[in-house]
A = this chain, B = another copy of it.
Amino acid sequence: MSARRLNFYFVFPIFFGGVSLAAPTAAGAGENDSGLMEIALRTFGVLPAVMASPKNDVTPEKTFLGRILFFETRISKDGTASCSRCHLFGLYGTDGLPLAIGNSCKVNPRNAPTVFNAAAQISAHWVGNRTDVEDQAKQALVGPVSLGMPSYDSAMKVLKSIPGYPPLFRAAFPKSADPVTPENFALAIGAFERTLVTPGPLDTFENGDASALSAAQKTGMNVFIVAGCSNCHNGPYLGGQEYKKFGIKEPYWISTKSATKDLGRFIVTGDESDKYVFKVPVLRNIAMTAPYFHDGSVASLDTAVRIMARVQLDKELSEMQVSDVMAFFNALTGTIPDSCLRVPVLPPSQPQVTKRPSK
């Protein structure tokens, strides 16, 4: 193991422009905290308060509506699916399934990624076939394996039939003459999702609190960076900013034991070089969002870590290194926003009568 560590010393300065980092000892990393903080800030950085977009300003009225719509099942083909179907906040914005299951038991081609810290990626979905969270939300309305509504019109008809919705849309989109539209539906859900950031111990550490991470977590961060994981999993989200081939050393499915060979981004671009290419997933909350990979083929996080090191970086991590990386991942488990832990009451289907109708 010490040989492996020594190796890391050599690799490290290349990645970080000469910043020198002594490997933390097993006992603790106190003496190097400020150096590690600087590296962490440079490699990752803290989460923003909101994942802003010039195309969709986040207003309280939009997020209020979007949060309600996120739980709305009545705009799904069989009446059982909502955004929350595959993004359960109690399961950290995922569904615990290898492949997401939408309306009418339709199985999605890929694993449902968490909606937390998701809105600032280069695109939405594993292969980038949705431009952003707004595009994802809109297409989900009529997506055969998601909400599956027969048309946008039919979905809007349902929303208009529920007395509480038109006023909420009017409040969120005061400039729209007829605000109950698929575009505004998407903007409202997108605005809500842009608020779903989950700062965790890593951010506290980066903000100067050395005690936020355990010695194992600090060592794990070092392993993560030096091994090369952060070549792709970097920035505040530890991913989400580029596409990469999964399977550098060998085809991924040998290690993941995947049932099918997903062509990845090739299905979007048709470009041969995009075969088996996927968006680098966000690693925030990764310890809470099993199973792993685009097809959920791997149930346990330690196995996933070993596979990534071997298949992408051609490295074999020791048991202790895997354990330390797992500990670092725990520092990515953040606080779920209160807006998610509070279920909104949905507008009822019935008109609510309290008084006699005026004549």
Contact = CB atoms under 8 A, between A and B. Distances in A.
A80 B104 contact: no
Interface in A305-359: 320, 323-324, 326-327, 329-331, 333, 336, 340-346, 348-350, 352-357
Q: Give the number of copies in the complex.
A: 2
A206 B346 CA distance: 28
A91 interface: yes
A83 interface: no
Interface string A11-42: 00000000000000010000000000000000
Interface stretch (A2-10, A44-52, A94-102, A128-136): A94-102
A324 B78 CA distance: 33
A96 B78 contact: no
B73 A356 contact: no
A267 interface: no
A217 interface: yes
A353 B80 contact: no
Which one of A26, A288, A326, A353 has the highest number of Cβ atoms from chain B below 10 Å of its Cβ? A353
Given A26-B356, A216-B354, A73 B95 contact: yes
A301 interface: yes
A229 interface: no
Contact of A323 (B78, B95, B299, B356): B356
A88 interface: yes
B355 A327 contact: yes
Contacts of A291: 349
B80 A287 contact: no
B96 A74 contact: yes
Contacts of A217: 354
B91 A79 contact: no
Contact of A346 (B26, B91, B320): B91
Contacts of A78: 101, 105
Contacts of A353: 216, 287, 323, 326-327, 329-330
Which one of A74, A299, A348 has the highest number of Cβ atoms from chain B below 10 Å of its Cβ? A348
A88 B326 CA distance: 34
A290 B351 CA distance: 11
A91 B341 CA distance: 16
Contacts of A205: none
A85 interface: yes
A7 to B, nearest CB: 21
A90 B345 contact: yes
A237 interface: no
A300 interface: yes
Given A342-B341, A353-B216, A348 B290 contact: yes
Nearest to A85: B80
Given A300-B350, A326-B353, 6 more contacts: A68-B90, A71-B88, A299-B349, A323-B357, A327-B356, A336-B345
14 contacts: A73-B88, A79-B97, A80-B85, A90-B345, A90-B346, A214-B355, A216-B353, A287-B350, A287-B352, A288-B348, A300-B350, A323-B353, A342-B342, A342-B343
